[in-house]
Amino acid sequence: MAIDAACVALWSWNVDDNSFVMDERAFELWGLPEAVSVAFEELSEHIHPADRDRVRAAFIATRSVAGSYEIDFRIMLGDEIRWISARGQGADAGIVDRMMFGVFLDVTGRKQAEEGHELLAGEMSHRVKNLLAVAASLTQLTSRSVASIADMTSELTQRLSALGRAHDLVRPIPGEQGKAALLGDLIAVLLAPYDETAAFAGRIRVAVPRMGVGERTASSLAMVFHELATNSVKHGALSSTDGMLDISGRLEEDFLYLVWAETGGPEIIAEPELQGFGSKMIVRSVTSQLGGELSHDWQSAGLVATLRIRTARMAS
């Protein structure tokens, strides 16, 4: 009863022929039909390729390493991936008739939670670094357009306040999100920190269809535009006094196309590699949450990024 309550799967391992005898729960966990025994190589075929060699080496090592052991690895059941924890005793402790004993546990939920925490920690670290970099860039931009310390204090405070409002859209506080917003208003709030002073007024132009944006989609769009703006103010058109940004939109059949076009910034000599955390986060948001895709055209005059979104997702 305790074993059933703990959802523990039992196995015994013949160390001579590497065969396993398992209980019903273990066969269910591995997605295999019940049998008298199953070969280790047959089990290995279901282990995720990235973990297979590690698991094989670890099981061999258990014969000579004293003490209890625990090995976590992934198995594949069609398109489903499960995390299994195999636990037992090493150095042939408790061996009976050449059989070693242990358990399998399904730890998929725990692993997914750990991955979620790691992702959140990575995103928070990325956001903090970006906010510091953007704040420094906004300070430099503001210093070019003011005549006194008092003016700079006022202008910079306005820009940082606008940056805070934009950041709230990227990471909305539970219970404080708006139910919907207009697409143009959403983009205007996100880009306000970079186009607020008289010296730079008008260098960001927005012309998009008048349409509502639901709460979830607004958060996803905010994340994408915030990342694009952050990269632009650090490396692109928004980092230059002569830089211009045009954001246009059009509706075609079942899709909304948003085009982010930069000009007047530093000349692009070579296409950059988009391997950073922010770039991966954008791709994940666009594909999984918006049901669309984001393409980059690195022209010498500046980046032209095209975001395609299913219009059916806009209201969600």
What phi, psi does 230 have (nearest 5°)?
-60, -45
Output the 3-class SS for 261-290.
Answer: EEECCCCCCCCCCCCCHHHHHHHHHHHHHC
Question: Regarding predicted confidence, which is higher, 305 or 226?
Answer: 305
Q: For residues 133 and 28, give the distance between their C-alpha atoms in angstroms, rounded to a whole number.
A: 51
pLDDT of residue 285: 72
pLDDT of residue 177: 46
Give residue-wise pLDDT tens across range 160-170: 676 666 566 65
Say which range, 61-75, 88-102, 132-146, 166-180, has the weakest mean pLDDT: 166-180
Question: Regarding predicted confidence, which is higher, 185 or 103?
Answer: 103
What phi, psi does 155 have (nearest 5°)?
-65, -45
Give residue-wise pLDDT tens across range 235-275: 888 888 788 899 999 999 889 999 999 998 888 887 777 65
pLDDT of residue 52: 92
Average pLDDT, the chain: 81
What is the token pair recorded at 120? Answer: 């959140």
Question: Regarding predicted confidence, which is higher, 197 or 69?
Answer: 69
Classify 86 as helix, strand or coil: strand
Could you give the domains of the chain? 2-106 (3.30.450.20), 111-313 (3.30.565.10)
pLDDT of residue 142: 64
Give residue-wise pLDDT tens across range 18-42: 999 999 999 999 999 999 999 999 9
Give residue-wise pLDDT tens across range 210-243: 888 877 787 778 778 877 887 888 788 888 878 8
CB distance 211 to 255 below 8 Å: no
Classify 316 as helix, strand or coil: coil
What b/e string do you get for 158-176 counting C-beta neighbours within 10 Å, with b at 16 or more?
A: bbbebbeebbebbebeeee
Model confidence at 133, pLDDT cuts 50, 70, 90, reads: low
